[in-house]
Amino acid sequence: MLELKNITKIYNPGEITEACLFRDFDLSVEAGEFVSIVGSNGSGKTSLLNIICGSIPIQGGDVIIDGESMLHKKEFVRYRRFGRVYQNPALGTSPNLTMFENLSLADNKGKAYDLSRGANHARRESYREQLAALGLGLEDKMDVKMGALSGGQRQAVALLMATMTPIDFLILDEHTAALDPKTADTIMELTDRVVREKGLTAIMVTHNLRYAVEYGSRLLMMDKGHLVLDAAGEEKKNMTVEDILDLFTKISIECGN
């Protein structure tokens, strides 16, 4: 279980540009939930993911996983339990290394590094089988540099790399936003399959309202650091894209836009 308790996040504290995004913000995510988060730019979606992962500091509150505080744990320690796929396909992989070398690095996550070779050729067939399971023909491109692959192919590999070692949480930061619609649909189908097969707890930020409605077990909408919608169960199943658009419009009108 993931708990955010009394989170306060202030950007540029003490400066003229000081801005408080979260004030005493609370959120709980049960093990096994697939949570989709939507909201306008600046609503706090990506900041929320960064706080969970320990990528940015907070001024108050705590991040708790299974009863253990993560507040003073370094980012790399948290990432032993997290996998993250970013919006930019270039961020989740090393472009100048081959796919095989990228997979080898991901496979070594959490292990001690020494002067031995990073690429484990004994694991090559295993990587090939995992790539083949994606159904994209990537198993025949293992010696191709990642930078030569398409954005969709890199995101598929990044998704595999993020979940190769045992993790509890998969963090998806608009991971289909840079892809064309057809490729984005493919990546979402892969994501849903990986989450279900590995029994992961997933938190996905997306601007694609259809994905937010069709995928996951819980839907959150954020506005200016606040939760304005938290739908799960039958409420989530019965929700439509039009319902979310109506709420967006209502918030926009209330803000004078």
**Average pLDDT for 120-124:** 76
pLDDT above 70 for 117: no
CA distance 60 to 42: 20
Element containing residue 249 per DSSP (H, E): helix 241-254
- pTM here? 0.90
**pLDDT tens figures, 81-111:** 899 999 887 788 889 999 999 998 888 876 6
At residue 193 the predicted structure's pLDDT band, cuts being 50, 70 and 90, is: very high
pLDDT above 90 for 35: yes
**Average pLDDT for 190-204:** 94
pLDDT number for residue 122: 73
At residue 196 the predicted structure's pLDDT band, cuts being 50, 70 and 90, is: very high
The region, left, alpha or beta by phi > 0 then psi within -120 to 50, assigned to residue 34 is: beta
193's CB contacts (< 8 A; 6+ apart) are none
- Taking residue 117's Cβ as centre, other Cβ atoms within 10 Å add up to 8
Q: Are 225 and 192 in contact (CB under 8 A)?
A: no
CA distance 159 to 138: 13
CA distance 92 to 95: 9
pLDDT above 80 for 227: yes
Kindly state the tokens that stand for 99. 């796919």
CA distance 188 to 211: 8
Strands (E), 53-117: 60-65, 68-69, 82-85
Kindly state the tokens that stand for 40. 């306008």
pLDDT number for residue 44: 92
CA distance 14 to 3: 28
Whether the CA torsion 230, 84, 110, 138 is positive or negative: it is positive
Kindly state the tokens that stand for 147. 């930078």
DSSP SS3 for 27: strand
**Which has more confidence, 238 or 116?**
238
CA distance 26 to 8: 10
At residue 256 the predicted structure's pLDDT band, cuts being 50, 70 and 90, is: low
Kindly state the tokens that stand for 192. 């849903």
**Considering the chain, what is the average pLDDT of its residues?**
89
Residue type, 181: P
Whether the CA torsion 232, 233, 237, 239 is positive or negative: it is negative
At residue 115 the predicted structure's pLDDT band, cuts being 50, 70 and 90, is: very low
pLDDT number for residue 38: 95
Helices vs. strands in the chain: H and E counts, helices first? 9, 10
**Which has more confidence, 257 or 15?**
15
**Average pLDDT for 53-72:** 92
Q: Are 128 and 122 in contact (CB under 8 A)?
A: no
pLDDT above 70 for 161: yes
**In this predicted structure, which of 24-28, 53-57, 87-91, 194-198 has the lowest mean pLDDT?**
87-91
